[in-house]
Amino acid sequence: MHKHNQSKNEDKNEDMFSDFPDCVLLHILSFLKAKEAVQTCILSTRWKNLWKRLPTLTLSPSHFTSFNCFTTFVSHILFLRDASTTLHALDIHHEANIERRLLRRFVKYAVSHNVQRLHISLFCDIEHIPSRIFSCQTLTSLHLTVGANIIGLLSFNGRVEPFLACHRLNSLTLDYYRIMDAKTLCISNFMLVNLNMRSSYLGECFEMELSTPNLCTFEFGVTPLPKLCGSKSNLSSIKHAYIDVSMLVNDADTPLILPSWLLELANIKWLTITSRTLEVLTLIPDLFKVEFHSLCKLKSLDVKINSSFISKSEILRDAKLEQATTKSWKEDAKF
């Protein structure tokens, strides 16, 4: 009798998941890495084909014993996946070299399946990101973390405007990217709400134009600091801003350019600046004569201490301590 009841309870527990509609199961599986999602689907005949309709794919070679196993898995999942299912999100993470052919395949598949969120994090040097990304009509969120000349193929007369064709893009993050062959970087997008540009090197790019009338959140950390140019550039829509500005050796322009950026933040309410930015501010000629009317609506101002700033402070502290100790010894020696 006890065994019979136990068997009925086990059947009941099994049905708890089996009775869920596919949309619920797919939502749950979307929180897993692609490999884990496929492995989970093997547990039940009811789920065995669900992975073919996953709306989110998270792919990383770190989840496999070798890179060959990873490429084999990718080939199978892209080939066997239900072609009629829209791909809402594709996340690719890799901390070593990756074949350009494989990256092109990822991007081609994502764009052809109406990807909405694309996150590519590759800590390696790839000459060019596939240009298909910049013509994707369904893309709403793009996150690129790459050591790559991402827009080298799109330069025209020294001006690059890579995201103009992404009409639905509302969130853009660019980390560790480089621009080496352009004088002006233009980001034009009516729908863009969040823009994050961090730890990036602009090379010979001396100017930047932002035509983003609905931009609300802006994180900015590029080197060297470009001039804000163009009649369409307007930062008045920004409510939240994070600014991390540093200087290169023999860089005399950054302290002269930084005020023009701050003055454009006409309606800023929450501002975070780094200790490096404060150092640059101290080099602005006649700083206390500059009237930052743009900051009159400010509700919150935070300062984030950079690790390099802490190191400098410690060096200065140790130097002063050593100087004071030496002075004390000399005074004691007199007696």
pTM of the model: 0.81
Give the helix, strand, coil percentages of the chain, each rounded to 5. 40, 25, 40
Sheet harboring 56-59: ordered strands across? 56-59, 89-94, 117-126, 141-148, 171-175, 194-201, 217-223, 240-243, 270-274, 300-304
* Domain-embedded: residue 9: no
Q: Do the domain assignments include residue 291?
A: yes
Q: Does residue 323 form part of some domain?
A: no
Q: Is residue 5 part of a domain?
A: no
Number of structural domains the chain divides into: 1
* 27 within domain boundaries: no
Q: Does residue 31 lie in a domain region? A: no
- What is the C-alpha separation between 111 and 133, in angstroms, rounded? 7
Range of the domain at 153: 57-317
**pLDDT tens across the length of the chain (335 residues):** 555 555 555 555 555 777 788 899 899 999 999 999 999 888 888 888 999 999 999 998 888 888 889 889 999 999 999 988 889 999 998 877 677 888 888 999 999 999 999 998 886 655 567 778 888 999 999 998 876 555 444 456 677 888 888 999 999 998 877 666 678 888 999 999 999 988 766 666 678 889 999 999 999 988 778 888 876 677 899 999 999 988 877 778 888 889 889 888 989 999 999 999 999 988 888 888 788 877 888 999 999 997 765 445 444 445 444 555 455 555 555 55
Residue 1 forms part of a structural domain: no
